[in-house]
Amino acid sequence: MLKDIRFPRGEEYRSGTDNEPFAFYLESLVESKRLDLLLGYFSSSAINVLALGFAKFISNGGQVRLIINHVLSSQDKAAVLKGLAAGEENDQFSVEDFHGLKNALDKYGQHFFDCIAWLIGQKRIQIRAIKPMGRRGIAHYKSGIFYDGTDKVKFKGSCNFTASGLLENLEELDLKLSWKSERDAFADYEQDYNQIFAGQTDYAALIPFDKIEEVILREYGGKDLDELLIDEQQLLEQKAKQKHNEKTQRVLETIMQKIEAYRASPRFPFDGEPRQYQEEAYQNWVANGHHGIFAMATGTGKTITALNCVLHEYAASQQYQVIILVPTTILVEQWEKEAKKFNFKIVIKASSRNPGWKNELSEIRNRQLAGVPSSYVIVSTYRTFANPEFQAFVSSVGETAILVADEAHNVGAPSVAANFEQLKIQKLIGLSATPKRLYDEDGSGKMELFFHDKAPYTYSFTMQRAIEEGILCKYYYYPRVVELTPEEMVEYTEISAKLASLHDRATKDASAQRNYEMLLMQRKRIIHKATNKLKAFEEILERVKASETGLKYMLVYAPEGYYEDDEVATESYPDVEDSSRIISYYSNAVRQVSPTTHVAQYISDSANKDHILKSFEEGDIDVLLSMKCLDEGVDIPRTEQAIFCSSTGNPRQFIQRRGRILRRHADKRFAKIHDLVVVPSSVPTGSTFDLERNMVRKELERVVDFAYMALNKYEAIEAVQSVCRRYGINPDTLDPYSSHTNE
């Protein structure tokens, strides 16, 4: 903070004394979050002075407003003109000036423009070039204000912010400190600055500078904040080797230490700040006693939101002790990558892929028992979490630790719930796009009990809001009705009749309940494996192939399981690798429709899963087929088109699948989703009608949910209107998130 700086008693800096102007600028810059600066010449020697401390200032969240003179110094103009044709000299800034100036810069000047380019790219700098109005001459302004968010320091100098001005010549710098000065001392100056900046004075005219900003960004952009800090650290080390007075030397060493500490500390990644809603989630979590569920739509940054909470807690305690639970080993890898982006240095993966996790946890536990403070992030699968040795570690964790449960609906499963009941950890975050456990009110209740939360939860972020705010992309939705074959309909009707006869007994008798559930699964498999799906799939492929997009960046959710008999004419697909696996028939259908299309499967036993996803992202794979293993947490933002061939009445699954498709990508304007909707081929009568209607209703609930947020809402609803009329269902009354029965 600016108040922490030991300013001279007389609030004055003078070259040749212990209080060098250079030390003032350097020390104030690294303690500030905003700088308003008026310069005289915008020269390469001025740039050299401005360079040091700039990256550290940026790391504070620094923002700049810069007003500069409209001409280069004569020395820089000469350097620029060496690269221009004779007769092209111009007193005003030009694009050519900045192309030429680059050749005149040393490593300090290069670093300065690297930082300026970063600020331009992040829209954290505003530059104005001015010239006097009504007369020829230059604008001799050399002043500014440093601001740390609370306090301000105003300075005015007799020098031009050049190396000779600040370091060699007898120059002076007068200060005013906000905590010691009258408010008017700042108000008048800030008013004048704002008027010049806005072009509202009668003595200084603004001249265009936007093209120069484009050149700076193009010529110098590309480095991230960490690279800028590394460069700055090296430049400071070189500067510290030169001869300086004791105070300036101490300032240089202090700033090097600050940069080193910053680079070693956890921080928000992506050269930016959390989104407002991610900060709101943290505030709500704190207000709820440091526990709760974040019910956030797939693609809205649940991972970053949770790690941002950890970051806030670290800022208060300077330690991080975090256990993160995920359902799959793929998600273990993803969370590790995200945690490292936050600069958490110690990240341990506890899963079947890392057999050494027990030793790593043992080392942490031994340090804790010895009273040695330890920071760590442990990312574990739910399965490993249930391991007795992992539970022994959890029992030793202090109450200040944080537990994050990704896809938190898994916590309600009996095997996981038993371990959660023993937890001593008090700070809890549950993450899920769909917190409710389908058909499991007891499991849902336990999950809400563990996290001390209930609907509408500590923080909620709906998919509709995410689409409206541009966090997820907009989409078109095309449902395609698929009817059962006559043979499938006979089998389906027979099972439905058995279900109808068992319905009343199943509510009273455990054996009847088991038989009832078995019959439900058999009937679901008929829908799941419906033969006509494959034909409809082929027709969709043909239509998409002929469209502008073609078969590119397409994800297909294929049905799970195997064909037990010759339901599909295998002679049509003689090259199917696995003659009975359903996904193989769908893969081969793509090849039949478009032999030149590159097709791949992403399934649980696929080798090189990361390579498959990367190839899809880069366009080397055109169509990617999967079953369930993309349901939880795998990011594939490049997907532009999807075909859902796997019927699911589970809101969690279809919400997650849609979220996979709607993640934003720089080259994606919107997404297209094709959905196969299976219904009986005729309307049943008598005792089975209600059962059939319930089945159709579940399919239509998904359709309505997808359609109501689609760009082509009415077209999508119209595609299933005939089915709605057949079963007397009003689409406006359908709600996929209401309580379900097992039918």
The DSSP-derived string for 197-246 is: HTT--SSEEEE--HHHHHHHHHHH----HHHHHHHHHHHHHHHHTS---H
- The full length of the chain comes to 743
Cα gap 742→684, rounded to integer Å: 19
Cα gap 740→733, rounded to integer Å: 14
One domain for residues 705 and 560: yes
- pLDDT for 72 equals 52
Domain range holding 453? 276-468
One domain for residues 618 and 631: yes
Residues 6+ apart with CB under 8 A from 66: 37, 39, 125, 126, 127, 128
> For the whole model, what pTM was predicted?
0.77
Q: Is residue 582 part of a domain?
A: yes
- pLDDT for 438 equals 45
When comparing pLDDT for 139 and 124, which is higher?
Answer: 124
One domain for residues 437 and 551: no
pLDDT band at 259 (very low <50, low <70, confident <90, very high): very high
One domain for residues 175 and 296: no
Calculate what percentage of the chain has a pLDDT beyond 90: 42
Give residue-wise pLDDT tens across range 590-614.
999 999 999 999 887 677 878 888 8
Q: Is residue 630 part of a domain?
A: yes
Whether residue 681 is predicted with pLDDT greater than 90 in this model: the reply is: no
Residue 150 sits in a domain whose CATH number is 3.30.870.10
Q: How many domains does the chain have?
A: 3
Give residue-wise pLDDT tens across range 402-451.
999 998 888 877 888 888 888 889 999 999 887 664 444 555 777 888 99
Helix (H, G, I), strand (E, B) or coil at 405: strand
One domain for residues 115 and 167: yes
- Picking from 216, 231, 264, the residue at the C-terminal end of a domain is 264
One domain for residues 574 and 602: yes
C-alpha neighbours within 13 Å on the C-beta side of residue 719: 21
- pLDDT for 439 equals 43
Question: How far, CA to CA in Å, does 484 sit from each of 522, 643, 681, 712?
Answer: 15, 19, 5, 27
Whether residue 696 is predicted with pLDDT greater than 60 in this model: the reply is: yes
- pLDDT for 540 equals 97
- pLDDT for 215 equals 77
Give residue-wise pLDDT tens across range 453-490.
888 899 999 989 999 999 999 999 999 999 988 888 88
One domain for residues 173 and 237: yes
Whether residue 577 is predicted with pLDDT greater than 60 in this model: the reply is: no
Task: Give me the phi and psi of 125, to 5 degrees please.
Answer: -140, 140
One domain for residues 160 and 212: yes
Q: 538 near 544, Cβ under 8 Å?
A: no
One domain for residues 43 and 9: yes
pLDDT band at 81 (very low <50, low <70, confident <90, very high): very low
Least confident stretch, 8-17, 114-123, 164-173, 365-374: 164-173
- Which stretch of DSSP H or E encloses residue 135? none
- pLDDT for 397 equals 87
- Picking from 244, 264, 284, the residue at the C-terminal end of a domain is 264
- pLDDT for 308 equals 97
One domain for residues 453 and 550: no
Q: Is residue 518 part of a domain?
A: no
Residue 618 sits in a domain whose CATH number is 3.40.50.300
- pLDDT for 643 equals 95
Mean pLDDT throughout 678-694? 74
Cα gap 710→220, rounded to integer Å: 41
Whether residue 506 is predicted with pLDDT greater than 70 in this model: the reply is: yes
Mean pLDDT throughout 310-317? 94
Query: Which residue in the block uniquely carries the two structure tokens 């009258």?
Result: 182
Mean pLDDT throughout 532-541? 95
C-alpha neighbours within 13 Å on the C-beta side of residue 699: 28
Q: Is residue 525 part of a domain?
A: no
Q: Is residue 724 part of a domain?
A: yes
Q: Is residue 79 part of a domain?
A: yes
Which parts of 1-124 are beta strand (E)? Answer: 12-14, 34-38, 63-69
What residue type is assigned to position 658 of the chain? Answer: R
- pLDDT for 570 equals 37
What residue type is assigned to position 580 of the chain? Answer: S
Cα gap 304→321, rounded to integer Å: 17
When comparing pLDDT for 452 and 48, which is higher?
Answer: 452
Q: Is residue 60 part of a domain?
A: yes
pLDDT band at 567 (very low <50, low <70, confident <90, very high): very low
Cα gap 44→50, rounded to integer Å: 10
One domain for residues 238 and 282: no
- pLDDT for 256 equals 94
- pLDDT for 100 equals 58
Instruction: State the average pLDDT for the chain.
Output: 83
Structure tokens belonging to residue 259: 């940069």
pLDDT band at 80 (very low <50, low <70, confident <90, very high): very low
Give residue-wise pLDDT tens across range 47-74.
666 788 999 999 999 999 988 876 555 5
Whether residue 572 is predicted with pLDDT greater than 70 in this model: the reply is: no
Q: 217 near 121, Cβ under 8 Å?
A: yes
When comparing pLDDT for 693 and 648, which is higher?
Answer: 693
Q: Is residue 58 part of a domain?
A: yes
Give residue-wise pLDDT tens across range 551-566.
999 999 988 766 554 4
One domain for residues 308 and 344: yes
- Picking from 221, 241, 264, the residue at the C-terminal end of a domain is 264
